[in-house]
Amino acid sequence: MNRITKAFADTATRMFFRTGEVTAVTEHGASFRTIDVSGDALQDVSWSVGDKVQVRPDLDGFTTRTYTPVCWDTTRGSTTLLAHMPGTGPGSTWVRTVTTGSPCQIFGPRRSLKLDDLAGPILFVGDETSFALAAAWRGRHPDRPPVAELFEVTDPDDCNPALEAVGLSAAQLFHRRDGSPHLDLLSATLIDLLRGHGDTTLCLTGKAQTIATLRRELKHAGLADRPIKVKAYWDENRSGLD
């Protein structure tokens, strides 16, 4: 990055980003970490379950990666991110290499999914990128546990430590396979649950292609009119999806 571009990036950061410090990094298996961030700039903000933040993994660049906070203490000025490391991209590299004491620049929190207006029960369906959302719900609403949490995952054994760490040990995992045969079982399980819980809101997040498949199966099952909240966190054909 040349000097002019860096100066512009630094100015934009001061205007729009909150700067905190990484106060703890905890590994959960090979592919997950929780990252605690604290700082005065994280105080007195508005945060709700389902909100997102964007983190600058490279403090000299404009690239950002989006995460769902597990919690946010607006009085103390602290938040916790449960981060997945699926590969070698900017986000995974940052999660893998960040250490206690490192600065962390955050844009947000901002609205991603509006869940604070739900009156009835909720059912979460997603994947590794959805763990934090379900954990945030359980943390904020301990008296309103979800009907179920259904996640398609690449490696169930690798996911278990992270799920246990954030209180999701009861989640049902569907092992992702080539050709996606697991989606037949996931669809059938979801349809049965929705038919047995008529007032449930479905919260569908994660991979864009899986979301499209499940919505198609719900339509075929005559359940397309059920209350639903949808947010694609990633797309196999795109990178850095917000």
Note the Cα 187 to chain centre separation in Å.
21
pLDDT band at 239 (very low <50, low <70, confident <90, very high): confident
Delineate the domains of the chain, giving CATH numbers in brackets.
Answer: 3-110 (2.40.30.10), 122-234 (3.40.50)
Mean pLDDT of 30-44: 97
Question: In this predicted structure, what is the pLDDT of residue 16?
Answer: 82
At 42, the amino acid letter reads L
Between residues 171 and 86, the one the model is more confident about = 171
pLDDT band at 88 (very low <50, low <70, confident <90, very high): confident
Question: In this predicted structure, what is the pLDDT of residue 237?
Answer: 85
pLDDT band at 56 (very low <50, low <70, confident <90, very high): very high
Question: In this predicted structure, what is the pLDDT of residue 203?
Answer: 98
In sequence order, what are the beta bridge partners of 82? 34
How far is residue 49's CA from residue 141's CA, in Å, rounded to a whole number?
10
Average pLDDT, the chain: 92
- pLDDT, tens only, 153-169: 999 999 999 999 999 99
- pLDDT, tens only, 97-136: 999 999 999 999 999 999 988 889 999 999 999 999 999 9
Q: Is the pLDDT of residue 241 over 70?
A: no
Token pair for 236: 């196999």
Question: In this predicted structure, what is the pLDDT of residue 119?
Answer: 84
Q: Is the pLDDT of residue 6 over 60?
A: no
Q: Is the pLDDT of residue 185 over 60?
A: yes
Question: In this predicted structure, what is the pLDDT of residue 61?
Answer: 76
pTM: 0.93
Between residues 41 and 6, the one the model is more confident about = 41
Question: In this predicted structure, what is the pLDDT of residue 58?
Answer: 85
Q: Where are the beta strands (DSSP E) in 118-191?
A: 122-127, 149-153, 172-175
Question: In this predicted structure, what is the pLDDT of residue 155?
Answer: 96
Asked if residues 107 and 18 have their Cβ atoms less than 8 Å apart, the reply is yes
Asked if residues 146 and 204 have their Cβ atoms less than 8 Å apart, the reply is no
